[in-house]
Every structure is written in C-alpha cells, then in structure tokens.
C-alpha cells in the first residue's frame, strides 16, 4: 500500500483522484442561473434575458440598453449510492456498499453588465464551471479509493463586447480561476495489512489552493428581433500545483513535487426562436474537451524514476444536447420547460469509485415573475436521472488484483432562485 501526503497547493489537483458523481459530466458544473436551470440551459448563449448570459456568451451584452445585474443561488440535493464488494482475486473479501455519498451543495453566482454606448459594453461574471463534493464514511471498507473530498473553483470573468453591425456582435473575456480542495483517505479493509491500523486510520490528507488563467470568446448573430444564433468558446485553464510529496516512491522522505491539472475547454452552439407573441423554442449543443485529461501525474526529482504518483484517467470528449421552450403568459409571467442529455466522458473500463460518472438526463421547469419593468425574479427546478453503471476498479492501481466490483447510481434534485435588475 502506497500512502502519499501532498501539502499546500499540490493536493488541490489530486482531488480528481476521488471525485464522485457531480451534476454535469465528470466534475463539471452547469448551475449558473435559475432562469437557465428552468430550461435545462437550452439556448443559454443566445437568449440573453438577464445578465447571467455572461456565463455563456459575452457577445450578448450588446443586446442590453441599460445596466443589468443578476444574482442567483442553486441548491443541489443529490442521491448517489454505490453497491458492491471487495475481491482479492476471485475471492470475496468484504462487502462495501454505501448510500448518500454526495452531500447537499449550494452554488452561487453574480453578474453585472454595463452598456458603454450603442456599440460597446462590458461586464463581470462571478461563477463556477467545475466542482465536486463526496463523503464516504471513515470506516468504509473501500476507503483507500474513497474517503471525503471537496473541490471548489471560482471564476472571476471580466468581459467586453462590440457590435459590428445591426446583426453581428462579438465578445471576449479573461478567466481568473481560483481552485481550493481537501481530500482524506482511510484504510478500510486494507487495515488488516497495516500494523496498528484500524478501518478509520487516515492514510492521506490533502489540502490546498492555487490560481489558473484562461480566456473566452463569443459571437451573436441576430437574424431579427425574434431569432438569434450564438457560438462560444471558453479556453482550457492550466493549473500547476507545487508542493511537498511523501510516500513509498520517495522513500517516505518529504520532497518537492509538481502536479498539473487541466480544466478542459468548452464550446456551445445555441439558438433562440420566438415563434409568436406567446411561444419560443431554444436549443444548445455543448462540447467539452475532456480528452485533455488523460492522466493524473505527480513528478519530482526526489521520487524513483521522477514519478511520485500516476493514475490513468483516459477521458474522452463529451457532448451535451438540450432543448427548451418558453411560454410568455402575460407581461408579468413567463414559464419554461427544458430537456437535456448529458454524455459522460468516462470510458467504461476506466470508471472507478473515485469517478463513477454516467450519462444523465435532465428534466427542468421554471418561471419568471416581472415585478415591474426593471426588476424580476426567476425560479427553476430540475431532476437529473443518472444511469446505473458497473464499476470494476483496482484499489491501489488500475490493474491491481485487489478490486472493488459493483454498481453506482446517482440522481439529483436542483432548485434555484434569482433576482434581476436593470437600471
């Protein structure tokens, strides 16, 4: 058994070793607004009904003729279970099932847009694109591959937009991403092979933070007042964590180490079409460059062969498809529905207790109430239905004969509220 201890910022990236099901593909977050949640984020880059469009498309700022402010919060109540056993070769060693391994979470976001003149606008978005949280019990038999983990990222995203003509606008921004994480691992069923250990003996404690930087661009084509198309791109953010490593590969000495983690690039094509005074349809196709995440590797001159820790991930690019509709009931009320299919980037043979991700389907509904011409509130709810998937993972390495075999299944309820103001 290799026990590693990462200190300071190096450990923040290692959190991906034990990430559990989140509520978009892998450890991606979509929860940027209540208005978007109610339509399953369909057409999000093209609709521009409030300032939260900044999370998807800076070019859409040119559609605002007044300063706009939006603040939202999304509550996530997951229900994620794993059911299985630990095997030593063909022999069953211990049962290892657990319920409710993902705690409830709250995701806030804030946005501000200011038109400068008929052609220029600027804005600021404060939100998150990646995050996760999982809590297995300290005595969980497969604790060497589970434990408790939290990853938080916070994106500070200033943007500027320019209207080229009456139909076409472009926008761009800078992303300053702060990442913070904590991880704990426990001996579980491996305690029998560790002198003096019990099942809740902590084998690893990881905690730290770091900064990374990227960029984003967006375009908006307004066919007319009732039809809009958008294409956007948000770059990869490279995180490089320097810190200390201690484990078997370093002869249990504390050595300087480095670990790199890439938050993948994203792109979206979206459309919005108002069919008449009462109804509109909208849609999005999203792509995430998860194939950039092939392995998690910590290196140091103080480790044997220069490698302190390595775990193959072998992610593949993933797609998300969403379709929604909005009913403009009267000047005060709007109602919306949405449906989405979220594709997992995890190859079946590399699915693990740490990332038991699966394809999922979104069912969403929401509403807007216009308090007056300058203020409104949004409400959104969604149910995420994840597929049950098989997991067959070596507890110490991908090919280890000591394995956890079983299934994972996760659903979630999401509820969100948002306040919007133009002034």
Work out the pLDDT band at 179, boundaries 50, 70, 90. Answer: confident
* Least confident range of 18-22, 89-93, 113-117, 253-257: 18-22
Maximum distance among all Cα pairs of the chain, rounded to whole angstroms:
74
187 phi/psi in degrees, rounded to 5 = -70, -40
* Least confident range of 53-62, 316-325, 342-351: 342-351
The arithmetic mean of pLDDT across residues 363-373, rounded, is 97
Work out the pLDDT band at 208, boundaries 50, 70, 90. Answer: low
Location of structure tokens 């930087």: 213
pLDDT of residue 8 exceeding 50, the answer is: no
Work out the pLDDT band at 246, boundaries 50, 70, 90. Answer: low
pLDDT at 145: 73
DSSP-derived 3-state class of residue 34: helix
How far is it, in rounded angstroms, from Cα 242 to Cα 405?
A: 34
Neighbouring C-beta atoms of residue 139, cutoff 10 Å? 15
How far is it, in rounded angstroms, from Cα 283 to Cα 148?
A: 37
- Residue with the bigger pLDDT between 125 and 308: it is 125
The most confident of the ranges 64-68, 79-83, 207-211, 307-311 is: 64-68
- Residue with the bigger pLDDT between 25 and 369: it is 369
Closest CA to 302 of 256, 258, 252, 248: 256
366 phi/psi in degrees, rounded to 5 = -165, 180
For 26-39, the pLDDT digits (tens) are 577 888 999 999 99
Output the CA torsion sign for 361, 419, 75, 231. positive
pLDDT at 11: 34
For 274-298, the pLDDT digits (tens) are 999 999 999 999 999 988 888 777 7
């Amino acid at each position: 058994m290799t026990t590693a201890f990462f200190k300071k910022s190096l450990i923040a990236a290692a959190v991906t070793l034990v990430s559990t099901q989140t509520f978009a593909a892998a450890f991606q977050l979509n929860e940027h607004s209540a208005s978007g949640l109610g339509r399953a984020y369909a057409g999000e880059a093209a609709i521009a009904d409030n300032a939260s469009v900044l999370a998807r498309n800076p070019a859409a700022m040119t559609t605002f003729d007044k300063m706009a402010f939006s603040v939202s919060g999304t509550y996530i109540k997951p229900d994620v279970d794993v059911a299985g056993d630990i095997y030593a070769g063909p022999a069953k060693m211990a049962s290892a099932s657990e319920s409710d391994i993902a705690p409830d979470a709250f995701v806030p976001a804030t946005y501000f847009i200011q038109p400068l003149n008929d052609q220029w606008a600027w804005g600021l978005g404060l939100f998150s694109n990646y995050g996760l949280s999982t809590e297995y019990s300290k005595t969980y038999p497969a604790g060497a591959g589970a434990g408790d983990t939290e990853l938080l990222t916070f994106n500070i995203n200033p943007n500027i937009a320019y209207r080229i003509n009456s139909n076409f606008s472009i926008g761009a921004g800078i992303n300053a991403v702060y990442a913070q994480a904590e991880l704990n691992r426990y001996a579980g069923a491996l305690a029998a092979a560790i002198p003096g250990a019990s099942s809740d003996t902590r084998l690893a404690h990881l905690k730290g933070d770091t900064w990374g930087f990227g960029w984003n661009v967006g375009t908006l084509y307004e066919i007319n007042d009732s039809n809009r198309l958008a294409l956007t791109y948000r770059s990869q953010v490279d995180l490089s964590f320097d810190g200390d490593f201690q484990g078997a590969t370093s002869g249990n000495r504390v050595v300087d180490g480095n670990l790199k983690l890439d938050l993948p690039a994203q792109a979206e094509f979206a459309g919005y079409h108002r069919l008449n005074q009462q109804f509109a349809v909208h849609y999005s196709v999203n792509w995430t460059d998860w194939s950039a995440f092939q392995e998690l590797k910590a290196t140091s001159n103080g480790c044997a062969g220069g490698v302190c820790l390595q775990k193959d991930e072998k992610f593949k690019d993933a797609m998300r498809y969403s379709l929604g509709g909005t009913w403009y009931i009267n000047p005060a009320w709007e109602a919306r529905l949405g449906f989405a299919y979220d594709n997992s980037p995890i190859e079946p043979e590399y699915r693990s207790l740490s990332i038991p991700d699966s394809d999922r389907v979104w069912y969403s509904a929401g509403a807007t109430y216009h308090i007056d011409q300058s203020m409104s509130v949004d409400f959104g709810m969604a149910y995420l239905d994840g597929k049950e998937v098989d997991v067959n993972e070596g507890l110490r390495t991908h090919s280890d004969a000591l394995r956890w075999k079983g299934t994972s299944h996760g659903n979630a309820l999401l509820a969100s509220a948002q306040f919007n103001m133009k002034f």
